[in-house]
Amino acid sequence: MTTHQSVGEVLARTIHHADQLFRRRRPDAVLVQGDTASAFGLGVAAYLHRVLVGHVEAGLRSYDRQAPFPEEVMRILLSQAADLHFAPSEHARANLLREGVPRERIFVTGNTVVDALKDVTRRMPLPDVRALWPVGAVRILLTMHRRESFGSPMLEALRTVRRLAEEDPRVAVVFPVHPNPAVRRAVARTLESHDRIRLCPPVDYLTLIALLRSATLVLSDSGGIQEEAPSFRVPVLVLRKVTERPEGLAPDGNVLVGTSGPAIRAALRRLLAKRPNRALSSPQPSAFGDGRAAARITRILSAALCGTRLVSSRSQFRYRR
């Protein structure tokens, strides 16, 4: 990481160093997860060395090149370099089929994010986060960091959160603030100096999961949280115009609200009027996975490397509500 680095710099460094690595040591396969510049760079470098590329979380599409930016284009291009496409859902699989990806190369596995949730909650106690929450019956976990939200959209959303806290004494907010300077400037202009809005540095994964599990609801523009929250039955007001994860959209689940103040307030009132269910202590299967994605990916990758015929339907995740 370097100060004020651009996405282009990250991409260029990733491709350069991956190219050097593959010249020294040629792997049999490369697995890339998600849609970041580093994932795309590594996948392209592997393709150029004729290494088998498996893409975990394949097929996510918002069909808006500017949102999320630049991830939407990164994942579309990565699909062109990948040999095996590990789609989290049937919806993602359908996206890939529409783009001409061969059917036999697509495997609906669920997403490894649910594997991680189930693993950490089973193997270790989560941190006690009670001291992080301000006093309030309505606990809101807030995260914002998307580049397309920088400027007026982020400022409007954050000002709305502050007004909600000022108007309703039940509201308590925790915001792990992203280190990006654009986010920090917006936070400084809107959320500082309120006794029921707790601003904290970025938290580790276990602490984030503990905060998520203890929240009444979430306000977020994150992609990952849209997958994590449904496993705990915690509703998310998605602070974006479009989402690549429509499987989670539901009146009592993820709700797409954008960054408009009136839309956020109206959606929050509707959710609180329903008295949201208490969050589950352990993650449950959701539209994004059942905790067995990694096992499916392992079997498929092993078969591919051994030259065994792959039958996608035999290693498929199906979600039933």
* Residue among 61, 75, 93, 145 flagged as catalytic: 145
DSSP state of 105: G
Task: Please report the sign of the dihedral spanned by the C-alpha atoms of residue 113, residue 119, residue 124, residue 126.
Answer: positive
Q: Is 178 a catalytic residue?
A: yes
Tokens 């893409």: give the residue. 55
* Residue among 55, 61, 178, 240 flagged as catalytic: 178
* Residue among 147, 233, 270, 292 flagged as catalytic: 147
Q: Is 147 a catalytic residue?
A: yes
Q: Is 290 a catalytic residue?
A: no
CA distance 6 to 286: 35
Cα 82–chain centre separation: 20
Task: Please report the sign of the dihedral spanned by the C-alpha atoms of residue 268, residue 269, residue 273, residue 274.
Answer: negative
What HEC string does 292-316 produce? CHHHHHHHHHHHHHHCCCCCHHHHC
236-238 and 217-220 beta bridge pairing? parallel
* Residue among 57, 72, 115, 221 flagged as catalytic: 57
| SS3 (DSSP) at 284 | coil
Q: Is residue 4 within 8 Å of residue 32, measured between CB atoms?
A: no
Tokens 């994964």: give the residue. 205
DSSP state of 19: H
Q: Tell me which residue of 140, 106, 105, 128 sits closest to 234, measured CA to CA.
A: 140
CA count, 13 A, side-chain hemisphere, 186: 27
SS3 content of the chain, % helix, strand, coil (to 5): 45, 15, 40
CA distance 313 to 296: 11
Q: Is 90 a catalytic residue?
A: no
Report the catalytic residues.
35, 57, 71, 145, 147, 178
